[in-house]
Amino acid sequence: MDSRSLAEQEKDIRDLLRRAERTPVKTSALRKDTLRRLIDLAHSPHSSLKVIAATNLKLFIRDFPELEDEAINAVYDLCEDPVSSVRIKGYAAIVDVSREQQKWVKRNADVLVQLLQSDEPEEVTFVKRALTQHLDMDPVVTLGVICDQIVPPDEPLDEEEQAIRERLRSLVLAFLAGEAKRSLVERHANTPDSPAEQVLVSNLFKAITKLPSEEIGVIVKDVLAPLPSFKPPSTRGKELLELLLAQARATLKSDLPSGGDDGTLDHTRPYLDLASFITIDSRLTQPYQLLRFYYTNLTPKLVLARLPENDQAFVLRGVARVFAVCDDPSSRAPPIGPAADVSKQAGAGWDKAEDAALRRQFIDVCSVLLQVFADMQSPDYRPWSACHTLLQGVVRVC
C-alpha cells in the first residue's frame, strides 16, 4: 500500500499523466507504466484516485494489447466499487473503452445489461445511458446481446437461475420499450431488413413463441408496433399477425382439448387481443386472417357450446370488431409507398378475393352467433353493441 498522502498520490499521477500525454511515441515505456499505474489505482482505497483511473484508462488501453485484459477488468471492478460516484464513473469508462476498441462492444454491452439489475435507481439511469450509447456505436452487436437476455435458452435452468433470468428479462424489455425506443424508431430499426432491424425482429419473433403472454404484450405493443418498419406497406405486420395466430392456434388446443369436454379461452384470448391490437387499433396489417381464424376455430356451434358465456361474448365481440374493420371502405385502400417497395407489398393490402369469401360466410356465422346471444342466461354477459354491429353487417351484406 502506498504510504504517501492522498494529495501526494494525486499530484504524482497527474504529473505522470501530463508527461505521458506529451510523449509522442504512443507505445513508449512511460505510457505503458502510466497505464499500469492507472490499473493499480482502480483498486486504491481512495475514491478520488479511482475516479482518475476511470477517466484516463481510455487514453492508453488501445496502445498496449498485452495489458487490455487487466485494464478492462479494472474498469469492471470500478463498476462494482462500494462508492456510488466511482461506480458511475466506471459505467462511463465502459463506454470510453468501447469507443476506443470496437471489439469490446459485445462484452461491454453484456456487462451493462447485467448492471441493469442495480438496486440504485439513479445508477440505473447511467447504465441505461451507457447501453444506449453502445446501441449507437454498434446496433447489430448490442441488439444481439440484449436479445440474448430476452429469448429463453433451450437448456433447462434451476429455480434460482430461472428467477434471475426472468427478472433480467423484464428489465431488458423495459429498456427496449423505454429509453431505447427513440433510437430504435429513429435510427436502428426503422428500415425493414436492415441488419439491426433483422436482429431485433427475428429474436423478438422467436421470443414470442416462448414467453408468457404478459411479456409478449410488451414486445408487441411497446417494442415492435411503434417501429416504422412495421408500418404498411411493409409486410412485417402481416408476419407478426401470422405468428400471433399460430400461437393462438396452439393454445386453443390446450384450452379446448379434443374429446368434447367444456373449456375456456383463458390462454388463447391474450393472443387474439394482440392480434386485434395490430389489425384494428394500430392498423399494421389487414384483419382478414384474424377474421378467418374466428370463423374457422371459434364460431362453429360445437365449439361455442363448450365455452362459458363470458368466452362466448368474447367471440361475439371479436367477430363484430374485426368484421367492422373489414367492412370499412377506408381499410380497403391499397397501401401507399415508393415504387421501390412494391415487391414488399404483397399481402399487406386489401385482398379483394378474401374479402368477398369472408363476406359470403358472414351470414352463416352471424346466424350462429346471434343464436348464442339469444340463448345467454346472464344479461351481464350479452354484448349488445357487438350484436348491433353484427346486425348492421347482415343488412349491408344482404
Separation of alpha carbons 189 and 201, rounded Å: 9
Q: Minimal CA–CA distance to 208: which of 113, 306, 278? A: 278
**Cell numbers that stand for 392 in this block:** 348492421
Burial of 345 (0-12, 13-18, 19+ CB in 10 A): middle
Phi, psi at residue 286, to the nearest 5°? Answer: -70, 150
**Alpha carbon 322 to chain centroid distance?**
26
Alpha-carbon distance values, 28 to 24, 42, 54 (Å): 8, 22, 21
Whether pTM exceeds 0.85: yes
Contact 291, 358 (CB under 8 A): yes
Q: Which residues contact 217 (CB under 8 A, 6 or more apart)?
A: 270, 274
What is the helix, strand, coil percentage profile of the chain, to 5? 75, 0, 25
State pLDDT tens for residues 218-253.
999 999 999 999 998 889 999 999 999 999 999 999
Contact 349, 335 (CB under 8 A): yes
DSSP letters, 12-53, are: HHHHHHHHHHH-S-TT-HHHHHHHHHHHHHTT-S-HHHHHHH
Q: Is 366 exposed, middle or buried (0-12, 13-18, 19+ CB in 10 A)?
A: buried
Minimal CA–CA distance to 272: which of 251, 303, 300, 257? 251
- Which residue positions in the chain have pLDDT lower than 50? 334-347
Alpha helices in 277-341 (DSSP H): 288-293, 301-304, 309-326
